[in-house]
Structure 1
Amino acid sequence: MKQLSIEWIIKACNGRKTHGGKEGWITSISTDSRNLEGGSLFIPLIGEFYDGHQFISQAINNGAVAVLVKENHQIELPENLDDVFIIEVKDTLDGLKELGRNYRKLFSIPFIGVTGSVGKTTTKDLISSSLSSKYNVLKNFGNFNNQIGLPMTLFNLEEEHQVAVLEMGMSSFGEIHNLVDIVRPNISVITNIGMSHIENLGSQKNILKAKMEIATYLTEGDYLLLNGDDEYLKTLKDEKSPYHKVFFGVSKDLDFYPDKVEDLGEKGFTLEISIKGKIEVFKINYPGLHNVYNALAAIWIGLNYNMTPSEIQRGLDSYVPSKMRMEIIELPDIKVINDAYNASPDSMKAALNVLDRLEGNRRIAIFGNMLEMGAFSEEGHRIVGNYVTGTGLDILITVGEMAKWIGEEAKAIGGLKEIYTLENNQEAIEILNKILQKKDLVLVKGSRGMKMEEIIIYLQERS
């Protein structure tokens, strides 16, 4: 982070100094009083079950030299503040966002925003990996993709960074708008429109509308990359916009597509793409057709920033999937796909497609509840149950009250050898202990709240 003066901080967050000397400098910003460096600005956030103002004394003891506080808020400050700066703002979260927005203005590098119902993290990571073979890239880590995590990511920007690639998450209208107001990306990417967060938004058309907030501040010379094979995103083709729209995918009527896609099964894909009249071959080292789409966005962006195909390929080769996101684990007697980070109908189907392409004995899918689907929950789970019957799955294990609809739908259609409908992860572990055979392929997937990694831990420990 660049060193910032207290004067800059006060102006950037629309604050008012109530204590402190004339001059001071900030070298880092934190919302966690436990993890502070000397020279830090501490921002105490207020949540439903916590109030960071309770930890101001701890933050000061740990090295904070300045603190944002909410005006007219009941606060117990330590008696001896010495030279600590206290800055009042109307709201500490808004203060954090304003600091992020103004800190971003200190950099004239390209900013790339990525959103979508499924695949946004993988796409963000692939774009970052691709660009990193030529440029110094900042990206957000983990789930730092919201109104708190995004500004905190921006504070990691240093003079040496040349590009920033930022994932943007949402669960309702206005959230992405707030994020792009902070970042003002030059290129925005929408991977697809699925059913994630349909509980809050009511329909996929509304999800499309919410995702399109990522284009709010795009202007002439900026780009919006859209999955042109997505049934909702492709409806935007004829809409006029001040920015350039680029539709990517595998269909030959799109702006950017591979002339040939070769499926290598577990080893991934090769793509042949015509670039300036020459066929270039790209290798994707991970299975699943959805990853072809993710990689196409990364390849186009690399080309847009004057990278050669070989530079882009080096970047793609360096990509390592995040934990619990289509992570293939080779164990002594079985193979496991750990995709337990989250779940939606689209990502469930994508995971089944990957399982279908692996070589092994029997194919076993363990599916937990898909949460945050509200009134669409039964429909979404039954969509997966219907899809299951058209794959090469041998055994289906469902975990949870909602996931039972997957099993019910699959059983009604028929074709599966074995279906187990269970209540919790421990029951799934007990079933696996009885039925697992050598060279079985096991897919584990469910919403984050289901803690499906408990099953992964069992599978690893039994080997």
Structure 2
Amino acid sequence: MEQMKLSEIVKAVKGSYGYPDDALIDNISTDTRTITEGSVFLALRGARFDGHDFAAKAMELGAQAVITERAVEGARCIIVDSTAQALLDLAGYYRDKFDIPLVGVTGSVGKTTTKDMISLVVAQKYKTLKTQGNLNNEIGMPKTLFGIDKQTRAAVIEMGMSARGEISRMSMSCKPSVCVITNIGVSHIEKLGSQENILAAKLEILDGAKQGAPLVLNMDDKFLANAVVHGLRKVWYYSVKDKNCDVYAANIINRNAGVDFDICYGGEIAHARINCIGVHNVKNALAAFCVGLILEVPVESILEGIESFRPEGLRQNITVKNGVSFVVDCYNAAPDSMRSSISVLDQLETDGMRYCVLADMLELGERSAEFHKAVGKYVADSHADRLYCFGELARNYILGAVENGFDKSRCMHFSDKDELADYLRSKLRKGDSVLLKGSRGMALEKVFEAI
């Protein structure tokens, strides 16, 4: 973070402050463990904590001032109506200091992978800041913006949400100059009610976008293909099916734990490779290719950036252990991402059995059983040899699979992860492949760790 005057911060958050304001600030903290000399502490409130309780402690640790919603004894308070909004306002003020391209990325599934691919492409030309980990909410996103400095030449910012208005507020803060929406699924449908409402929430990414900012959309998603986009802006469409798009993929071939394909654009053809499996990842690469063209990254460099991508952590990470290939994809789960991961299991080169190990998908509302059964039907249409399930909702995977012709004797349900791990360990042989997929709250990666 570059230094700001304390007086600038008071102005940016529209705060009330009655102390000398000529100090230089180089750190905005929401956690007293990160307080340094030259910090301003921002007292956020949550369901189980209240940052105001630590305001005085922040001063003791060296903070120059604290941003609060009320006076706190022992602290020099910049008082605002909402500290949550103050964080967004301050990050937006700071972002405005830098005239750099900023790519905003959202979507129901694949936004983190797409963000990572885009950042690798953009970094071929610009020193690029990107969202780290899961810092894609109204706290993490502004914290990411404070990471911009004089050397930064571009930023790629991921925006997630669980309710209407969240992406709008983040967009108003980060002011994207390019916007990307990967797809419209059913994640958070429990709160939003319908995919039409989810589409409206994702389109909020345009609320703070620069005038004329291009919008990159997945034409293979029926909701995005028919989205009504307001404003005078170029909409870039990408697809693996529709040859009338701005950018589309052809000649898709799985090879050596990756995918080779041609990218067709503007009458030109470029050969590309990604070192991960799945048509969904080809789509993510196409989104990154579009952004690269928009930001005038040379095509050869775009292709190098795409090829350099590797899955990380719990996102479709393929690991070989004792001759068994494991696809560990336990970061989150929704019907679309389930189908994507099952397709990865299908495409793995294997001489043995394919085990599909699925845990509950959470936060899907009253249609949860229906969504789980639909995934089970997809398993039945796949190349999976066994379906093992963990969690109460996961029983519906088996119901859907059996309804679609999958042999019930090839299905098992487990209520205990240790029991599942023990049983799976007893069955696995060299050459087998295993998919472990479920919502983050189900912690299915513990099964992999136990094996």
User: What is the TM-score when the length of structure 1 is the normalising length?
Assistant: 0.93
Q: Which position in structure 2 is the counterpart of 1:440? A: 432
1:275 Cα deviation after fit: 4.7
Query: Is the contact between residue 266 and residue 287 of structure 1 (CA under 8 Å) also seen in structure 2?
Result: no
Q: Which amino acid aligns with 1:205?
A: E
Query: Is the contact between residue 220 and residue 244 of structure 1 (CA under 8 Å) also seen in structure 2?
Result: no
Identity of aligned residues (%): 39
Query: Is the contact between residue 116 and residue 309 of structure 2 (CA under 8 Å) also seen in structure 1?
Result: yes
1:404 Cα deviation after fit: 0.8
Q: Aligned partners of 1:30 and 1:196: how far apart in 2?
A: 31
Q: Which position in structure 2 is the counterpart of 1:176? A: 167
5+ residue gaps, structure 1: none
1:271 Cα deviation after fit: 2.5
Secondary structure of the residue aligned to 2:32 is coil
Q: Summarize the alignment of residues 155-304 of structure 1 with structure 2, pairs less than 5 Å apart.
A: 155-218=146-209, 220-236=211-227, 241-258=231-248, 260-265=250-255, 267-275=257-265, 277-304=267-294
Q: Relative to structure 1, is the Cα distance of residues 22 and 184 closer, same or farther in structure 2, using a 3 angstrom cutoff? A: closer
Query: Is the contact between residue 264 and residue 270 of structure 2 (CA under 8 Å) also seen in structure 1?
Result: yes
1:156 Cα deviation after fit: 0.5
Secondary structure of the residue aligned to 1:87 is strand
Q: Which amino acid aligns with 2:449?
A: I
Match of 1:418 among 406, 410, 414: 410
1:67 Cα deviation after fit: 1.1
Q: Which amino acid aligns with 2:424?
A: L
Q: Which moved more, 1:207-216 or 1:42-51?
A: 207-216
Matched, 1:349 2:339: yes
Q: Relative to structure 1, is the Cα distance of residues 97 and 26 closer, same or farther in structure 2, using a 3 angstrom cutoff? A: same
Q: Relative to structure 1, is the Cα distance of residues 217 and 38 closer, same or farther in structure 2, using a 3 angstrom cutoff? A: closer
Query: Is the contact between residue 390 and residue 414 of structure 2 (CA under 8 Å) also seen in structure 1?
Result: yes
Q: Aligned partners of 2:8 and 2:210: how far apart in 1?
A: 28
Q: Aligned partners of 2:227 and 2:117: how far apart in 1?
A: 25
Match of 2:99 among 98, 108, 129: 108
Q: Deviations over 1:345-373 (max 9, x none)?
A: 11000000000011221111111110010
Secondary structure of the residue aligned to 2:226 is helix
Q: Which position in structure 2 is the counterpart of 1:312? A: 302
Q: Aligned partners of 1:247 and 1:309: how far apart in 2?
A: 18
Q: Which position in structure 1 is the counterpart of 2:122? A: 131
Q: Relative to structure 1, is the Cα distance of residues 221 and 172 closer, same or farther in structure 2, using a 3 angstrom cutoff? A: same
Q: Aligned partners of 1:262 and 1:135: how far apart in 2?
A: 29
1:40 Cα deviation after fit: 1.1
Matched, 1:373 2:339: no
Q: Relative to structure 1, is the Cα distance of residues 220 and 6 closer, same or farther in structure 2, using a 3 angstrom cutoff? A: closer
Q: Which amino acid aligns with 2:400?
A: E
Q: Relative to structure 1, is the Cα distance of residues 105 and 219 closer, same or farther in structure 2, using a 3 angstrom cutoff? A: closer
5+ residue gaps, structure 2: none
Query: Is the contact between residue 248 and residue 254 of structure 1 (CA under 8 Å) also seen in structure 2?
Result: no
Q: Which amino acid aligns with 1:185?
A: P
Q: Aligned partners of 1:258 and 1:224: how far apart in 2?
A: 16
Q: Which amino acid aligns with 2:14?
A: N
CA-atom RMSD in angstroms: 1.7
Secondary structure of the residue aligned to 1:173 is coil
Q: Which amino acid aligns with 2:11?
A: K
Q: Aligned partners of 1:259 and 1:387: how far apart in 2?
A: 24
Q: Which position in structure 2 is the counterpart of 1:39? A: 38
Q: Which amino acid aligns with 1:131?
A: V
Q: Which position in structure 2 is the counterpart of 1:49? A: 48
Secondary structure of the residue aligned to 2:248 is coil
1:209 Cα deviation after fit: 1.3
1:277 Cα deviation after fit: 4.2
Q: Aligned partners of 1:293 and 1:328: how far apart in 2?
A: 19
Q: Aligned partners of 1:278 and 1:311: how far apart in 2?
A: 16
Query: Is the contact between residue 191 and residue 227 of structure 1 (CA under 8 Å) also seen in structure 2?
Result: yes
Q: Which position in structure 1 is the counterpart of 2:327? A: 337
Q: Which amino acid aligns with 1:329?
A: T
Q: Relative to structure 1, is the Cα distance of residues 213 and 307 closer, same or farther in structure 2, using a 3 angstrom cutoff? A: same
Query: Is the contact between residue 353 and residue 433 of structure 2 (CA under 8 Å) also seen in structure 1?
Result: yes
Q: Which position in structure 1 is the counterpart of 2:11? A: 11
Query: Is the contact between residue 17 and residue 79 of structure 2 (CA under 8 Å) also seen in structure 1?
Result: yes
Q: Which amino acid aligns with 1:402?
A: L
Q: Aligned partners of 1:395 and 1:352: how far apart in 2?
A: 12
Q: Which moved more, 1:115-124 or 1:239-248?
A: 239-248
Q: Which amino acid aligns with 1:250?
A: V
Query: Is the contact between residue 172 and residue 209 of structure 2 (CA under 8 Å) also seen in structure 1?
Result: no
Q: Which position in structure 2 is the counterpart of 1:363? A: 354
Query: Is the contact between residue 239 and residue 249 of structure 2 (CA under 8 Å) also seen in structure 1?
Result: no
User: What is the TM-score when the length of structure 2 is the normalising length?
Assistant: 0.95
1:221 Cα deviation after fit: 3.1
Q: Which moved more, 1:219-228 or 1:96-105?
A: 219-228
Q: Aligned partners of 1:200 and 1:271: how far apart in 2?
A: 38
Match of 2:111 among 120, 137, 140: 120
1:240 Cα deviation after fit: 5.8
1:48 Cα deviation after fit: 0.8
1:138 Cα deviation after fit: 0.8
1:61 Cα deviation after fit: 3.4
Q: Which moved more, 1:142-151 or 1:244-253?
A: 244-253
Query: Is the contact between residue 222 and residue 244 of structure 1 (CA under 8 Å) also seen in structure 2?
Result: yes
Q: Aligned partners of 1:367 and 1:283: how far apart in 2?
A: 29
Secondary structure of the residue aligned to 1:264 is strand
Q: Which moved more, 1:399-408 or 1:423-432?
A: 423-432
Q: Aligned partners of 1:379 and 1:276: how far apart in 2?
A: 42
Q: Aligned partners of 1:186 and 1:411: how far apart in 2?
A: 48
Q: Which amino acid aligns with 2:262?
A: E
